[in-house]
Amino acid sequence: MRIGWKQRSRVTSWVLGTLTVIFLAYQWLPIFTLGLLSFAGPTGGTTFPMNGTSFHWYEEVWKATVMNDFKPPLLRSSLLALACSLTTIVLATMAAQAMRGQFRGSGWFFYLMLLGIMAPGILVGFGFAIMMRILGVGLSWDTTTFMVQVSWTLPFGFLTMLAVFNRFDKKVEEAALTLGASRITTFRRITLPLVLPGVIGAGLFGFSLSYDEYPRSMFTTGPDATLPLAIMAQLDRQLTPEIYAVGTTTTLFSLIAVTLCTFGLWAMRRSTAVRRT
């Protein structure tokens, strides 16, 4: 007897649904385990059993000595991410606005930006380090790493801004221009406020990408490491729950940043919606 298509569709749903739930668990369990194990007691190892619960490993991170002090790298990574995010916002908005002007060679320009996403970090980082060596420029987290990381965050910001400009209602701009406003005034007073959520999204994206970036930083950072580099160096020396504590902290940090910004965007959309009526 053949089963009906409705029933077959239900069976497919169940199979795919189960697969999805299993994958979700697969994706989240390691993160939860990391968080759980970071609260292990002082004698706790790097896996179960936990040997009691304590804040020992967090204290350890906080009181850390010179070798495994994660506070300066954290500060560096945050400052770097902020700088990358701001640079990305400005350059990506300019570039996306330029694309609307369909200048000569804009097709090539688009591919150039895509190349920034496609080119693997290890090649870009290594190549840039070689170039700096040929030019005789010293490596440092706030100069060379900054330049390399912007080449990673900028294309994502650019694509975000392209999508934003594609969706936004051009009639509003036209109305302002028809009423005699100059192009610059229209952009500043009409266009920019309307696409601001997208701009903030691009900046947030840039912040997160730069904050977590490892391969590009690895070749181009001088003696002062950023956070991912410090974590990797500590992992090479010795694996203790201390790394789990650092990992849990930065993961929470990222999650809080995302939540705050999502909430901010949502609140802003609401407020602009109210103003419109």
9-48 residues in contact with another protein (CB under 8 A) are 9, 12-13, 16-17, 19-20, 23-24, 26-31, 33-34, 37, 45-48
Which of 90/267 has CB closer to another protein?
A: 90
The residue type at 256: I
CA distances from 238 to 48, 50, 71, 206, 234 (A): 18, 18, 18, 31, 6
Q: Helix, strand, or coil here: 40? A: strand
User: Site residues for another protein, window 112-141 (CB under 8 A)?
Assistant: 112-116, 118-124, 126-128, 130-131, 133-134
Task: Answer yes or no: are the C-beta atoms of 164 and 96 closer than 8 Å.
Answer: yes
The residue type at 202: A
Which of 114/267 has CB closer to another protein?
A: 114
Interaction of residue 178 with another protein, rule CB under 8 A: yes
CB of 273 to another protein, least distance (A): 19
Which of 83/119 has CB closer to another protein?
A: 119
Task: Answer yes or no: are the C-beta atoms of 57 and 245 closer than 8 Å.
Answer: yes
Q: Which member of 94, 233, 260, 267 binds another protein (CB under 8 A)?
A: 94
Q: Which member of 174, 238, 263, 269 binds another protein (CB under 8 A)?
A: 174
Helix, strand, coil content of the chain in percent (nearest 5): 75, 0, 20
Q: Which member of 74, 84, 150, 164 binds another protein (CB under 8 A)?
A: 150
Q: Which member of 101, 273, 275, 277 binds another protein (CB under 8 A)?
A: 101
Q: Helix, strand, or coil here: 53? A: strand
Closest to 55 measured CA to CA, from 210, 63, 148, 47: 63
DSSP string, 14-76: HHHHHHHHHHHHHHHHHHHHHHHHTTB-TT--SSS---SB-SHHHHHHHT--STT--HHHHHH
Q: How many residues does the chain have?
A: 277
Peptide bond into 241 cis (omega under 30): no
User: Site residues for another protein, window 236-255 (CB under 8 A)?
Assistant: 239, 243-244, 247, 250-251, 254-255
User: Site residues for another protein, window 154-173 (CB under 8 A)?
Assistant: 154-155, 158, 162-163, 166, 170, 173
Site string for another protein, 44-83 (x = CB under 8 A): -xxxx-----------------------------------
CB of 163 to another protein, least distance (A): 8
Which of 63/103 has CB closer to another protein?
A: 103
Q: Which stretch binds another protein (CB under 8 A): 1-9, 52-60, 78-86, 266-274?
A: 1-9
Cβ neighbours around 262 below 10 Å, total: 12
Biggest CA–CA distance in the chain, Å, is: 78
User: Site residues for another protein, window 182-221 (CB under 8 A)?
Assistant: 183-184, 186-187, 190-191, 208, 211-212, 214-215, 218-219
